[in-house]
Chains A and B, each alone.
Chain A
Amino acid sequence: MLLAYRCALASERVTATAIEANEFPQLAQEMEVWAVPRIVVDGEPRWDGSVPEAEFIRRILSA
């Protein structure tokens, strides 16, 4: 989660929101959250799990 927050703090183009999946089950279902952390970029589910910073940046920019 912190990587996403760091991206938002580093760029005015980026927003980062943690969403508590249990509290918003309908949204979690729509985003096919079966494991956490589930990363969603621009409303599209992308991947599950933590990745190193360089890979995180590569993935979000290529989404």
Chain B
Amino acid sequence: MALLRPEEEAKVREWFAQLERPVELVVALGPEAAPPAGAREVDFGAEMVRVCEGLAELGDAVSCRVEQEPDGFPRYPAVSIRPDGRDAGVRYDGLPWGYELSSLVGAVVEAGRVEPTLRPESRAALEGLDRDLALDVFVTPT
């Protein structure tokens, strides 16, 4: 099954063509949690590889690498979205199904920008941080 509809794929290609720096998708595979009810026939790891490799095919600046149980990944499968190959703390844990695929695409687009897209006042507020901050956002496919 195709990753995206033709019109969606064209749009993503357009966005990825405008990336200002390379973005690497590091897919982490390893022991997975008990599968959700009704999803026992889905190979989440294999599907994650298919999704990320599929996205990497849509832009020259996007690449994909698969690792088995790398450090820094508490859950599998997961993907780290890395601007210039640098771990910037941007990750998606689990398979980005359906609408959530747009979150992964959006992460690639954001990581591909040299300048952060937050407002100046937001950036200034974050620059004042004197501690680390871990944001987890729970999502579901729709």
Tell me whether A5 and B129 are in contact in the complex, defined as CB-CB below 8 angstroms, given that A16-B89, A40-B136, A54-B121 are known contacts: no
Query: A4 vs B111: C-alpha distance in the bound complex, in angstroms?
Result: 12
Tell me if B136 and A13 are in contact (CB < 8 A). Answer: no
Question: How many Å lie between the Cα of A60 and that of B122 in the bound state?
Answer: 11
Q: Are A5 and B100 in contact (CB under 8 A)?
A: no
Query: Is B110 within 8 A of A5, CB to CB?
Result: yes
Chain A 3-60 interface residues, beta-carbon cutoff 8 Å to B: 4-28, 31, 33, 36-43, 53-54, 57, 60
Cβ-defined partner of B103 (8 Å) among A2, A33, A40, A43: A2
Neighbouring A residues of B141 by C-beta, 8 Å: 20, 22
Chain B interface residue count: which class?
35 or more
Chain A interface residue bracket vs B? 35 or more
Residues of B within 8 A of A61 (CB): 125-126, 129, 133
Let me know if A6 and B138 touch, CB within 8 A. no
A20 and B89 within 8 A (CB): no
Contact with A along B101-142 (1 / 0, CB 8 A): 001001100110100111101110111010111111111110
> Which single member of B83, B110, B135 contacts A60 (CB below 8 Å)?
B135
- Distance between Cα atoms of A53 and B110 in the complex (Å): 15
Contact A57–B126 (Cβ < 8 Å): yes
Q: Are A2 and B106 in contact (CB under 8 A)?
A: yes
